[in-house]
Chain A
Amino acid sequence: MKFVDYLTKIDRRIIYVILLAVVVLPLLFPSALSVRVMPPVEKLFHAIDAIPEEKALIIDFDYDPQTLPELEPMGFAILRHAFSRRIKVLALSLYVQPLGLAQNALIQVTEEFNSTAQTNRDSVIYGRDYVFLGWQPPPLIPILGMGESIINVYRIDYYGNRTDTLPLLKEIKNYSDIALLVSISSGDPPKWWVEYAQNRFGLQVGAGVTAVSASEFYPFLQTGQFSGLAIGMKGAAEYEELVDNQLHVAGRRKASEALPSLTYAHLVMIAFIIIGNIGFFIKRRQK
């Protein structure tokens, strides 16, 4: 039974090389893969699309470097969606590390729009079309405080301007002027927005979460506490597909480009589990 011994003794490094190859090759030779959009992401897209003109969208950027590849594409896609629909955006973070990634998303997407905008009207201007509120710890302060007044919580914004001087914050005063809040986060923030802001002020909440905590969030989608749910890199790719097809907004679709690699990696992972178990059962029957 020499084959069985070989089967159960594959060296760790060989497994690493196989995984690396399976992920790198599709990146080198990209192939278009159609993305089928599932209901949870569709709900999120329509929730944002239905934002009336006089109300704003809050985006809570709460992803950090550790969850960047899954959630940053979502941030880009949702910003592209909002700006192309002329929806007013307030950006904030409940933690300090995600601030840098929120700034990166805002800079790049506004750059994409302003480089192609001809008139002042369809370019994206800070203070009029969007405001970056920054960070006010602990999380309970902004979550509850914005129910009464946004500028009382964020006296200055991320860049240090006084918020009572920004035109956008003269119209958007508190949650009654906010149609939807989307929390892009790797942990509990989406639940806090439901627990405190939705329970007390009726705020509508959408969530973009990492795949690790996906199954914990589904009960909140079923009860309607979440108005939509995008999960991991696949959810980001679905949202990119909707933004691309329905809004015809150009922009690099990082999540969609990764799907082929993701597919082959999953197949390899399943194969490893099966091989490992075959060896396990043969050895158990030998005993």
Chain B
Amino acid sequence: MKRTIPLVLVFIFGLLGFIPFIVPHEIVQSSDDFLRNNFLKILAAFALILGLGSLLRVHIDKIKRKGQNWPYSWVLIITFLVTAIIGLFGGVTGQGVLPTRIGSFSFDIWTIFFNIEVPLGATMFALLSFFMASAAYRAFRARSTEATLLLVAAFIVMLGVLPLGNSISPHLPSFAQWIMDVPNVAAQRGILFGVALGMLATALKIILGIERSWLGGGGE
């Protein structure tokens, strides 16, 4: 019972997802839109809450067990609660129930997002250029013919993409563009066929109940 119901559901809704592609009839299309806009959208909302719940549970457990770096979990939870309150009650544009301005200092949800989350997120990935530079020196070796071909193509693209390439010779940017348009498309398309067949295989296995690992995800 615990396994058959979900497997039957995944099959039925698999068909409901596939049929509107080939059947344009008014009845099928409007019921497909109704199912999506009124049923699936609300399920997704609850899934979001589940995701948030799991995150908070991981950190609350860490605090209870005094796990590694547990004080930082307190920081996470407190920041989350403060931001959530400002967002929920302060409103999207700061004109909500909760006042989000003290004198000229406004702290509506967007200002917090733009001045805390954006710099943290942007800088986290800016680190990568440093790691790329040191990896370029310490790790990227022409250790095989394949790796050599890779690095040569990389050099052509890195030069060709930039105005400098154009000043070295107008042919360089066109050559770099050609590498992207012909050999690169051939390789990516070859890989894409394999990936697409893999996606098709996985989709069919899930709908027909052959692939059941997702069931395991439910049990505690």
Structural contact, B130 and A16, CB atoms closer than 8 A = yes
Q: Is A103 an interface residue (CB 8 A)?
A: yes
CB distance from B178 to the nearest CB of A (A): 11
Q: Which of B110, B141, B177, B192 contacts A38 (CB 8 A)?
A: B177
Structural contact, B163 and A36, CB atoms closer than 8 A = yes
Specify which chain B residues have a CB less than 8 angstroms from the CB of A160 in the assembled complex. Answer: 91-92
Q: Across the two chains, which residue of chain B brings its CB closest to A96?
A: B48
A199 to B21, CA, bound (A): 9
Q: Identify the interface centre among A33, A36, A159: most chain B CB within 10 Å of its CB.
A: A36
Structural contact, B134 and A12, CB atoms closer than 8 A = yes
Q: Is B60 an interface residue (CB 8 A)?
A: no
Interface string of A136-163 (1 = CB under 8 A from B): 1110110011001100110000111000
Structural contact, B122 and A65, CB atoms closer than 8 A = yes
Of A80-88, A113-121, A176-184, A212-220, which binds chain B? A212-220
Number of chain A residues whose Cβ lies closer than 8 Å to a Cβ of chain B: 61
CB distance from A206 to the nearest CB of B (A): 17
Specify which chain A residues have a CB less than 8 angstroms from the CB of B180 in the assembled complex. Answer: 214-215, 218
A148 to B33, CA, bound (A): 8
Q: Which residues of chain A in 34-53 are interfacial with respect to chain B, using CB atoms and an 8 Å cutoff?
A: 34-36, 38-39
Specify which chain B residues have a CB less than 8 angstroms from the CB of A138 in the assembled complex. Answer: 40, 44
State the main secondary structure of chain A at its contact with B. helix
Q: Is B220 an interface residue (CB 8 A)?
A: no
Structural contact, A145 and B120, CB atoms closer than 8 A = no
Q: Is B142 an interface residue (CB 8 A)?
A: yes
Of A54-62, A66-74, A164-172, A242-250, which binds chain B? A66-74
Q: Given the interface contacts A36-B163, A219-B189, does A15 sit within 8 Å of B134 by beta carbon? A: yes
- For chain B, the bracket of interface size reads 35 or more
Specify which chain A residues have a CB less than 8 angstroms from the CB of B138 in the assembled complex. Answer: 12, 276
Of B3-11, B62-70, B154-162, B205-213, which binds chain A? B154-162
Structural contact, A38 and B173, CB atoms closer than 8 A = yes
Q: Is B166 an interface residue (CB 8 A)?
A: yes
Q: Is B214 an interface residue (CB 8 A)?
A: no
Q: Across the two chains, which residue of chain A brings its CB closest to B187?
A: A215
Q: Given the interface contacts A148-B29, A218-B181, A280-B141, does A141 sit within 8 Å of B122 by beta carbon? A: no
Structural contact, A19 and B163, CB atoms closer than 8 A = no
Structural contact, B40 and A269, CB atoms closer than 8 A = no
Q: Is B117 an interface residue (CB 8 A)?
A: yes
Specify which chain A residues have a CB less than 8 angstroms from the CB of B189 in the assembled complex. Answer: 219
Residues of A within 8 A of B (CB): 10, 12, 15-16, 18-19, 33-36, 38-39, 64-69, 97, 100-101, 103-104, 136-138, 140-141, 144-145, 148-149, 152-153, 158-160, 199-200, 214-216, 218-219, 222, 234, 259, 262-263, 265-270, 272-273, 275-277, 280
- 5 closest A-B pairs by CB: A65-B121, A272-B137, A100-B113, A272-B136, A66-B125
A-B contact pairs, 8 of them (CB 8 A): A15-B130, A15-B137, A33-B163, A140-B40, A141-B41, A216-B188, A218-B180, A273-B151
